[in-house]
């Protein structure tokens, strides 16, 4: 009708239905971004090591998977720390630690298992504690792996991966070297070699940091 007001085309196209759709899409994108950020591994350890600085280590308190054979020099420490069936990182303060993240389904973990065991049998006499952290695994499979490779160092268990994310772990295996005062002073991403273990143990005992190193193969966390 002549003289009547009619909304233009752009105004009609932004009705309540379309606005709700747009708002819904925006909310979905926001949740997606939040989820990715929440699941992203923390990179602060590698960033500190890249600057040549020891890094603060995230704490954990996890159940013992296998106590292992700590040897005479470390027996009292392991007995005291694991008395309640769990071990926290703070309970190991005062001792250099080699922390290895692994799972039984991780093929590169099988490659490095004998390397870690040989280094452990050598270094425990000097008071360096090796600590395995099994994650995203079945308990029976994890214990079968330990028996298969005759691993005799202390192993803890994390059913999922929150501890790994806190440490910046994005694949398996990864190994961290921790000084007696609880600082991360080395990080090997992938299967660790005997030479990398020796260098990392030296850093852990001296407290002098190494930059993060690439190791051998690894598998993405599940």
Q: Over 80: is that where the pLDDT of 5 sits?
A: no
CA 77 to chain CA centroid, Å, is 23
Structure confidence at residue 150 (pLDDT) = 98
Structure confidence at residue 32 (pLDDT) = 37
Structure confidence at residue 41 (pLDDT) = 81
Encode pLDDT of 162-180 as tens digits.
999 999 999 999 999 999 9
Residue 156: band (very low, low, confident or very high) from pLDDT cuts 50, 70, 90: very high
Q: Over 70: is that where the pLDDT of 30 sits?
A: no
Structure confidence at residue 113 (pLDDT) = 98
Cα separation, 129 vs 73, whole angstroms: 10
The interaxial angle of helices 139-148 and 107-123, nearest 10 deg, is 60
Query: Based on the number of CB atoms within 10 Å of its own CB, is 120 exposed (0-12), middle (13-18) or buried (19 or more)?
Result: buried
Structure confidence at residue 163 (pLDDT) = 96
Structure confidence at residue 18 (pLDDT) = 55
Residue 25: band (very low, low, confident or very high) from pLDDT cuts 50, 70, 90: low
Encode pLDDT of 34-86 as tens digits.
343 345 689 999 999 999 999 999 999 999 999 999 999 999 999 999 999 99
Cα separation, 206 vs 51, whole angstroms: 18
Asked if 99 and 184 count as a contact pair (C-beta separation under 8 A), the reply is no
Residue 14: band (very low, low, confident or very high) from pLDDT cuts 50, 70, 90: low
pTM greater than the 0.85 cutoff: no
């Amino acid at each position: 009708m002549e003289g009547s007001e009619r909304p233009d085309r752009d105004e009609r196209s932004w009705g309540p239905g379309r606005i709700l759709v747009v708002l819904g899409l925006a909310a979905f994108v926001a949740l997606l971004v939040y989820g990715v950020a929440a699941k992203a591994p923390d990179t602060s350890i590698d960033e500190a090591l890249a600057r040549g600085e020891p890094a603060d280590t995230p704490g954990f308190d996890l159940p013992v998977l296998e106590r292992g054979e700590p040897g005479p020099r470390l027996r009292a420490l392991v007995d005291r720390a694991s008395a309640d069936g769990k071990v926290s990182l703070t309970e190991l303060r005062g001792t250099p630690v080699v922390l290895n993240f692994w799972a039984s389904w991780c093929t590169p973990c099988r490659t490095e298992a004998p390397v870690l065991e040989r280094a452990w049998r050598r270094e425990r006499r000097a008071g360096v504690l090796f600590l395995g952290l099994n994650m995203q695994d079945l308990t029976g499979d994890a214990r079968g792996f330990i028996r298969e490779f005759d691993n005799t160092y202390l192993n803890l268990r994390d059913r999922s991966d929150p501890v790994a994310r806190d440490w910046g772990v994005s694949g398996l295996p990864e190994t961290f070297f921790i000084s007696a005062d609880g600082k991360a002073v080395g990080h090997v991403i992938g299967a660790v070699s005997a030479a990398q273990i020796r260098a990392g143990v030296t850093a852990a005992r001296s407290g002098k940091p190494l930059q993060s190193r690439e190791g051998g193969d690894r598998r993405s966390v599940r």
